[in-house]
Structure 1
Amino acid sequence: MKILLLAHSFNSLTQRLWVELSELGHEVTCEFDVNDAVTIQAVEMARPDVIVAPFLKRAIPEAVWKSRLCLVVHPGPPGDRGPAALDWAILEGREEWGVTVLQAESGMDEGPVWASRAFPLRHATKSSLYRNEVADAAVAAVIEALGRLPGGPAGRPALLPFKPAVKQAERAIDWSRDDTATVLRKIRSADGTPGLLDGMLGRPVYLHDAHHAAGLSGRPGELVARSGQAVARATTDGAVWIGHLRAKEAHALKLPALDVLGPLDHLPEAPGYHDIWYDERHGVGYLHFPFVNGAMSTDQCRRLKDAFVTAAQRPTRVIVLMGGPDFWSNGIHLCTIESAPSPAGESWANINAMNDLCREIITCGSHFTVAAMQGNAGAGGVFMALAADLVAARETVVLNPHYKGMGNLYGSEYWTYLLPRRCGDDNARRVVEARLPMGAAEAERLGLIDCRFGRGVPEFRRLVEEMAEALAADLGLEERLAAKRLARAADEAEKPLERYRAEELEHMTLNFYGFDPSYHVARYNFIHKVPKSRTPLYLARHRQK
């Protein structure tokens, strides 16, 4: 079937549908909904059997939905209407929510329903729910809807009252009255862009990355502690950690809280907010690093490297690199780079810190290492995973194993050593040149990952633990480790790791400091969410002709 994805941008759900529908054998192309004329032209060129709209910010042109079947993915149950369905669900404390695939008509979210799915609404941020439960439900509902063709929709539900976008005033925190659960709901409902507007130390800021601060309390609204770069703020019945802030200023970026507020050394240091932690069971060490948006700053890379080195000194046999449930890693931290006095200098420091971490994983001869990709990964984060002895991925993760979309960035993390070793030279070139998202099934076929299992995060974690503990108990593990050390020594004798690194960084020097500003322009546009004026040809396959 020829399917045109019509979207505002190539966001996580659009990527997921691209991967899943392509895997099913459909001919998929994508067009960004820039304006009516562009959309109408794209439909004329693509001649799709059906248009699927997973992420739009405006109505589909009448000329399009009257001439072609247009299936809109709405992140709410049948009958729900409005552009902020998930925001309202979190704010109102719903226990169950859903996704509906409906046919586009003149009234927004009023068309006949083709399929729907429901799911429990866990206590999580909007972006986490969207990336997991909403995406899973959307994929299942879209596939069911396509299976109804050439028939018709399932029916029309009773329409619920239309809910407009949530205003900041409707989720503003009243620190004198709101308890911890209410504060967390409000911040989580606004997670992403722009965040929840509030004031802190006399400055208007948007709040992000909020968590319960167990054991802390104080006068409601006051800052009561710090932990790493996070600050704790008291509620009526406890406190919450605020990990990241964005100043209400032109071109301000989401950054660790103390990078925005200053050091605040007068606040007591308290445990509780962690972006890296380690636990150990049955001969296995688990290293967790659920960094916000999967981005790894220079400081985070250095701390994670130190944590890995410490883990490798433990009397265990296996180390599992867990990443986080939403993202495993997306490589260098473009926000901290963009906000640095010298973005080129910070880019250089960041990529070298990433390389130092990757080198420790590659050269670890004492332990068998596993990269357990619970969440999505991109760019250098994918290649960091390849440094491990075994790469396991959750069935539904989406990988973007390429750099070129960021202004033709060359990339490092020893990818020129790791990727061909796993995939072969031909597949390695295919991977880095494609610029397209990849599902776990394709990644396994290419040799990028070793195995895939588990659809949900809890199931994946359980299976990873079973696999890791079996590896640790395997009587043949010492032989495998000895063979690993010999193979690494042979590879080093043939071509030292430092030569791969030097060759990669020679290209990166031109990206960061050279005359071509493409990387810096692409980074700025990405960080500030500058909308694209046209769809890249590698997505708009209908325009390649």
Structure 2
Amino acid sequence: MQQRILLVSSADNGLTRRARLALRRSGRMVRTAVVTTSGDIEKAVETCDSDVVICPFLTVRIPESVYTRWPTVVIHPGPVGDRGGSSLDWAISEGEPLWGVTALSAVGTFDSGPIWATRTFRLPRLRKSLVYNGQVANAAIECILEVADKAADPHFRPLDQENAHRPISHARARRLMRQSDRAFDWASDPEQILRHIHAADGAPGVVSTLAQRPVRLYDAHPGRNGLDAAPGTLLGRRHHAVEVACGGGTSIWVGHLSIDLGDRWSCKAPSTAALARAGIVLGTIPTTTAAAAGAAGQFTDITYRRLGPVGEIGAVEFDSYNGGMTESLCRRLTFAIRAAACQDTKVLVVRGRGHAVFSNGLHLGEIEISPESAQQAWRTIRAINALCREILFCRQLSVVAMTSAGAGGAMLPLSADVVVATGHSVIDAHYRTMGLGGSELHSYTLPRRVGADTAHRLLEAAEPIDALEALDIGFVDHVGPDIGFDDWLTALASEYVQPERWLSTMKRTRGRLARDLADKPLDAYEFEELGEMARNLFADSLGFEAKRRAFLYKTPYPRYPEPRHPPPVPAMASPH
């Protein structure tokens, strides 16, 4: 009999979606319940016919009436012996070299139940959101699949924690981390400051002060040395990040923050946009090249390098904070790809920096904090479309390597000749839940790859797919290993450098492009998409404004509104 699993989660986040897809891929029947209270959990299991309840991400107490009736397993982002709701925050803040994930039975005391499975991993010096969606999520999925296997074994009994091996001997119960625990002095060593901001990344941020204004800090990066400025001084900006002086003549870069606007806190947004909203405008810190910027401790979110034994592969890497792409990033990435295509290389690889999230399309924080949010969203969608065009018509064979992605970020790679994904990628190939029709030339590129019927299903069902399904339907061309993906990608790109493969691929992809666009110009696809987007943005026809705010401020999502009467579509010049 097919095993039935109920996933109970406080949010349908990346880990929950990965768990659902992995369990279904392994042959189980899976149902997901998103809950906000203990009462919601009781309602979710009222008609429960599941064999086991698994909680991949839960912030509320599980009622005794639930865990005494069904095997109920909590996935805790800490090693054996660790307890508390700020487990990962403490580990990153204190610079732990090793950390873990534990699957344990729900009992009356948080994180103290018998153990079903556990994994240990090296803890990288990265921000919490990257660690959670990377190392923690990978370990959690392994534990969840092991739990499902053990739940089907009538002879299995979970191990009491008192009898379990503790790979991290000092793991213990810790209280919730407070802002007083996160606080730092700008005169401190930058490494210490970085750890504190990394540990609060995603949420809740670190409360501090910049330009005499209370702020919450996120997205921190190492800065420069040899500076002569008082700690806490705002030194300037580069792209969307601001540089802040620290102790010992050093600095850090802060890419995102929220700011006290007097009557309320702003949403989390690019630092320059958030400060400008409060009337604080900084000058730009100049640098000559991206390579020089990195060497000098300057902030850079786009890099270029050559790969392969004879350097015939160009690689453009970009960093979109948690997948959000600003207007500036899209425009600069377009210029970077155009410049890379002028090099004497045969293959151009475009990829996100790191292995957590490739892109989720529009940067909602930049849109929300703008005084003219609809206009900002319109400018950004036009910038992303220009980026898609640059990839589509690139003179070199283009390869886009994606990890998890959503909405416009999932459609962006489809402009490439070759699309590859990591094995753990989760792809939300739809816009619907955010109240947008979407653009990114998807009305051409998506059916071209998967067919009209599958394209319609992906857009309307609003359900994620995993990398293997993406491969099966033609959304991607190759799926690479999670471990060693970088080397695998270089080897794959080297294969496409070979004359026969290069020529056959270009004939196939560019030949079809020419035939398709002879029947219907690309401008026609884009104008149709932008017509719908204009109604979404300027008439709020699908509730984008309320859904965007619900996402940014973590409030309940509104129901889909009835479409409003569409306004006239704004006049548009050429989309180039």
Report the residue type matching 1:291 in the other structure. Answer: S
For 2:98 and 2:22, the matched residues in 1 are separated by: 25
1:101 CA drift (Å): 0.2
Per the alignment, in what secondary structure is the counterpart of residue 489 of structure 2? helix
1:267-307 Cα offsets, whole Å, 9 max, x none, are 74453111112112311111111111111122221111111
SS at match of 2:27: coil
SS of 2:457's partner is helix
Decide which moves more: 48-57 or 223-232. Answer: 223-232
Residue 143 of structure 2 aligns to a residue whose secondary structure is helix
Retained in 1: the 8 A contact 2:323–2:357? yes
- Please give the alpha-carbon distance, in whole angstroms, between the structure 2 residues aligned to 1:13 and 1:52: 12
Partner of 1:169: 180
Specify the code of the residue in structure 2 equivalent to 1:248. Answer: D
In structure 1, C-alpha distance between the alignment counterparts of 2:501 and 2:99, rounded to whole Å: 48
TM-score of the pair, normalised by structure 1: 0.93
The corresponding residue for 2:332 is 303
The Cα of 1:203 is off from its aligned counterpart by 0.6
The alignment status of 1:27 with 2:53, answered yes or no, reads no
Q: Over residues 127-158 of structure 1, what are the superposed CA-to-partner deviations in whole Å (9 max), with x where a residue is unaligned?
A: 11110110111111111122222333441224
Partner of 2:437: 410
Q: What are the superposed Cα offsets for residues 364-391 of structure 1, whole Å, 9 maximum, x if unpaired? A: 2x21000111x31100111110100111
Per the alignment, residue 345 of structure 1 pairs with 375
Residues 40 and 480 (structure 1), Cα distance of their counterparts in 2 relative to 1, 3 Å cut: closer
Where do 1:492-507 residues align within 5 Å? 492-507=517-532
User: Contact 2:259/2:275 (CA < 8 Å) preserved in 1?
Assistant: no
Q: Does 1:435 align with 2:462?
A: yes
Give deviations 1:441-484, integer Å, cap 9, x for gaps: 1111111111101113xx11111111112322434524543554
CA gap of 1:479–1:391, structure 2 versus 1, over 3 A, is closer
When the two structures are superposed, what TM-score results if normalisation uses the length of structure 2?
Answer: 0.88
Contact 1:251/1:528 (CA < 8 Å) preserved in 2? no
143-152 vs 432-441, greater mean Cα deviation: 143-152
**2-structure distance, mates of 1:346, 1:198:** 28
Question: 5+ residue gaps in structure 1?
Answer: 535-545
Residue-by-residue CA offset, 1:63-90 (whole Å, 9 max, x unaligned): 1111111100000011111001000111
Partners of 2:220 and 2:253 within 8 A in 1: yes
Which one-letter code corresponds to 1:404 in the other structure?
Answer: R
Cα pair 1:290 1:327 within 8 Å, conserved = no
Q: How do 1:478-493 and structure 2 match up within 5 A?
A: 478=503, 480-493=505-518
Counterpart in 2 of 1:196? 206
Task: Note closer, same or farther for the CA distance 1:517–1:419 as it changes in structure 2 (3 Å cut).
Answer: closer
**Superposed, which structure 2 residues align to 1:316-395 within 5 Å?**
316-325=345-354, 326-364=356-394, 366-373=395-402, 375-395=403-423
Distance in 2 between residues matched to 1:151 and 1:248, nearest whole Å: 56
**SS of equivalent residue, structure 1 residue 303:** helix
Task: Report the CA distance shift for 1:308/1:102 in structure 2 as closer, same or farther (over 3 A).
Answer: same
Aligned to 2:161: 157
Change (3 A) 1:16 1:480: closer
SS at match of 1:452: strand
Instruction: Tell me the CA shift for residue 215 of structure 1.
Output: 3.6
**What is the one-letter code of the residue matched to 1:240?**
I
Relative to structure 1, is the Cα distance of residues 440 and 216 closer, same or farther in structure 2, using a 3 angstrom cutoff?
Answer: farther
Return the alpha-carbon distance in structure 1 between the equivalents of residues 238 and 532 of structure 2. Answer: 38
Question: Equivalents in 2 of 1:510, 1:469: separation in Å?
Answer: 44
- Does residue 1:240 correspond to 2:252, yes or no? yes
Amino acid at match of 1:338: E
**One of 163, 184, 191 as aligned partner of 1:181:** 191
Cα–Cα, structure 1 residues 23 and 482, in superposed 2: closer, same or farther, change >3 Å?
closer
TM-superposition CA deviations, 1:245-279 (whole Å, max 9, x none):
11134251222222233465567445311111211
| Residues 264/405 of structure 1: CA separation in 2 closer, same or farther (3 Å cut) | closer
Secondary structure of residue in 1 paired with 2:530: helix
- The answer to whether the aligner puts 1:420 opposite 2:424 as a matched pair is no
- Asked if 1 retains the 8 angstrom alpha-carbon contact of 2:104 and 2:115, the reply is yes
Cα offsets for 1:492-532 (capped at 9, x unmatched): 11111011111112222221223635122211211211135
Post-superposition shift, 1:225? Answer: 4.5
Quick one: distance in 2 between partners of 1:485 and 1:47?
Answer: 52
Match of 1:221 among 232, 243, 246: 232
Query: Mean Cα displacement is larger for which, 438-447 or 469-478?
Result: 469-478
Q: Return closer, same or farther for 1:266/1:27 CA change in 2, 3 Å cut-off.
A: closer
Q: d(CA) in 2 for partners of 1:483 and 1:443? A: 20
Distance 1:533 1:103 in 2: 34
> Which of 250, 261, 274 is the aligned partner of 1:260?
274
Contact 2:240 2:273 in 1 (8 A): yes
Contact kept, 8 Å, 2:211 with 2:233, in 1: the verdict is no
Say which of 222, 225, 228 aligns to 1:212: 222
1:167-201: CA deviation from partner (whole Å, max 9, x where unpaired): 1111211223x212111111100101221111011
Counterpart AA for 1:358: C
**Which stretch of structure 1 is more off in the superposition, 505-514 or 189-198?**
505-514
> What does residue 397 of structure 1 align with?
425
Q: Is the 8 A contact 2:10 2:59 kept in 1?
A: yes
User: Aligned partner of 2:159: which letter?
Assistant: G
Is contact 1:395-1:452 (8 Å) kept? yes
Instruction: For 1:52 and 1:152, locate their aligned partners in 2 and report how far apart those are by CA, in whole Å.
Output: 16
Q: Which runs of 5+ in 2 are unaligned?
A: 165-170, 288-292, 560-576
**CA gap 1:284/1:50 in 2 versus in 1, 3 angstroms:** same
Sequence identity, in percent?
Answer: 37
**Per-residue deviation, 1:39:** 2.0
Segment drifting more, 240-249 vs 382-391? 240-249
- Is 394-403 or 156-165 further displaced after alignment? 156-165
| C-alpha distance in structure 2 between counterparts of 1:247 and 1:411, whole Å | 30
